[in-house]
Amino acid sequence: MAQHGFGIVGCGMIAEFHTRAINEIENAQVVAAFSRSKANGEKIAGLAGHQCQIYDDLDAMLKHPGLDVVCICTPSGAHKEPAVQAARAGKHVVVEKPLEINLARCDAIIDACDEAGVRLCTIFPSRFSPANLRLKEAVEGGRFGRLTLGDTHVKWWRSQDYYDSGGWRGTWNLDGGGALMNQAIHNVDLLYWLMGDVDSIVAHTATLAHVRIEVEDTAVAALRFKNGALGVLEAATSAYPGLLKRTEIHGDRGSARVEQDDVTLWEFQEKVPSDHALTAAIAGRSALNSGASDPRGISHIGHRDQLVDFLEAIDVGRPPLVDGREGRKSVEIIRAIYQSALAGRAIQLPLENDADQ
């Protein structure tokens, strides 16, 4: 089993989740961290639990002995530059969601990794939860029959203090959006992963419960998928006290619902013996790691499982389960929602010319 040395770029809150995840992987260690804040860098080095060199120069960090994987944990709109730099230095690249804040910046990362021959993944740990994996298996196994409706709801709460705590939060340039781009993007990713690619979107967005932010805290969208099914997406950081996120998949032969990490509905015309065992096994998890009102209230286990897949992809020479092009799709859907809300009309996908404004 090959050993892998990780470098962390950006040592804010999400870097803690990456570090805890890496600590639990047998063949991985955080060996270096880049931060403009010495205190934040020391925090990550302390979490790493062994010798971890702190750098204030990214070029220098990329030359650290034994470093072969770099996790980009900077604010969303500052992912491109360090990701491209890491790829050009020959390092495999992990980018915390979203891949970037528009498609032009996403494509710059994807192209740099392709040109350098390194692997790229975008962090979407919800795909690795047992409940969502079973849901994906049921879709691929045809148990829903013809897919008819796909809905996802992220009705969370974030205080004004949350947005005031960092100068980048709630800005277009660095956050890339609000409740959709920052919080609900995990469920946007799940929805298209389960239902298939999106054909068109009609949406409304608003800022209703917060001040001093440029972006939305409330959004609704109606989707038409390329397979003909319809869908609804709701996203909010304006719904006190914050509810469990929910995804529902419906077809003409079955329906299922996942709330956070619990299967709460699992009904199909054609039963199989494992159905009862599944609903019994995947229950009672939701209160443990929801993040509905506290951004720290999530688990690092999904990050760990995704990074295990990424290291296996490197070692055996296959694409990771969530590569850069997969990560790009959720950004495209969210950008289409923003365009629809601004233009007051339906937006057709794929988008064209989605670049820096």
Which 3-state string (H, E, C) describes 79-105?
CHHHHHHHHHCCCEEEECCCCCCCHHH
Same-domain pairing of 187 and 83 = no
95 and 168 share one domain: no
Q: Does 356 fall in a domain?
A: no
Report the domain count for the chain: 2
> Does a structural domain hold residue 354?
no
Same domain, 12 and 114: yes
CATH number assigned to the domain comprising residue 283: 3.30.360.10
- Supply the DSSP string of 188-217, one letter for each residue: HHHHHHHH--EEEEEEEEE--S-SS-SS-S
- Work out the angle at residue 188's Cα, subtended by the Cα atoms of residues 187 and 191, and round it to the nearest 5 degrees: 80
* Domain assignment of residue 352, yes or no: no
DSSP bridge partners of 201: 223, 347
The answer on 99 and 186 residing in a single domain is no
Residues 88 and 159 in one domain: no
- Are 231 and 207 in the same domain? yes
DSSP state of 181: I
Q: 143 and 287, same structural domain?
A: yes
Residues 338-348, mean pLDDT to the nearest whole number:
97
Q: 353: phi > 0 → left, psi -120 to 50 → alpha, else beta; which?
A: left
pLDDT of amino acid 284: 58
Domain shared by 70 and 216, yes or no = no
d(CA 217, CA 210): 7
- 350 domain residue, yes or no: no
CATH of the domain at 93: 3.40.50.720
Instruction: Indicate whether 200 and 179 sit together in one domain.
Output: yes
What values do phi and psi take at 225, rounded to 5? -90, 160
Give domain status of residue 355, yes or no: no
pLDDT tens digits, residue range 184-197?
999 999 999 999 99
- Is there a contact between 10 and 70 (Cβ–Cβ < 8 Å)? no
Report pLDDT for 51: 86
Mean pLDDT of the 284-301 span: 62
* Of residues 55, 58, 49, 47, the one with CA closest to residue 82: 58
Q: Within 13 Å, how many C-alpha atoms sit on residue 53's CB side?
A: 17
Structure tokens at 2: 């090959």
Q: Give domain status of residue 319, yes or no.
A: yes
Whether the per-residue pLDDT at 297 is higher than 80: the answer is no
Q: pLDDT tens for residues 119-149?
A: 999 999 999 999 999 999 999 999 999 999 9
Per-residue model confidence (pLDDT) at position 293: 56
Q: How would residue 295 be classed by pLDDT, with cut points 50, 70 and 90?
A: low
What mean pLDDT do residues 333-347 have? Answer: 98
State the average pLDDT over residues 310-331. 98
Note the pLDDT tens digit of each residue in 216-274. Answer: 999 999 999 999 999 999 999 999 999 999 999 999 999 999 999 899 999 999 999 88
- 351: in domain: no
Residues 29 and 87 in one domain: yes
For residues 22 and 67, membership in a common domain is answered with yes
Q: Is residue 81 part of a domain?
A: yes
Its domain, for residue 215, covers 126-293+332-341
If asked whether residues 138 and 37 sit together in one domain, one would say no
